[in-house]
Amino acid sequence: MKYISDSRLNWREDPIEIIESGKYKKLHILTHPFSYSINKKSMETKLRDFIKKAIDDRYNIIDENFTALDQVIKRDEII
């Protein structure tokens, strides 16, 4: 089996060449979806957006299970 990854959008080996070579019966290909976008963004912006989304998701989960969360802490105080 062959393992390849797009660590920080950097493929150490060309995945297309590896696939087309037929050399390996099994491939483990790891990609990081948050690294890719339609609009060109810096890695810093991508990471900031990813972290902000996670914080927003967590806030929403807590808000669904905590009465009057916004009276304790407002969303804009943490994001």
Following DSSP, what letter does each residue of 26-75 receive, concatenated?
A: -EEEE--GGG--SS---HHHHHHHHHHHHHHHHHHHHHHHSTTHHHH--H
72: containing domain: 36-79
Q: Are residues 26 and 63 in the same domain?
A: no
pLDDT attached to residue 34: 77
Q: Do residue 10 and residue 44 come from a single domain?
A: no
- Determine how many CB atoms are found less than 10 A away from the CB of residue 53: 12
User: Same structural domain for residues 21 and 40?
Assistant: no
pLDDT digits (tens, 9 = 90+) for 28-38: 999 988 788 88
What pTM did the predictor assign? 0.62
Residue range 7-64, pLDDT digits in tens? 888 899 999 999 999 999 999 999 988 788 888 999 899 889 989 999 999 999 999 9
Does 74 lie in the same domain as 55? yes
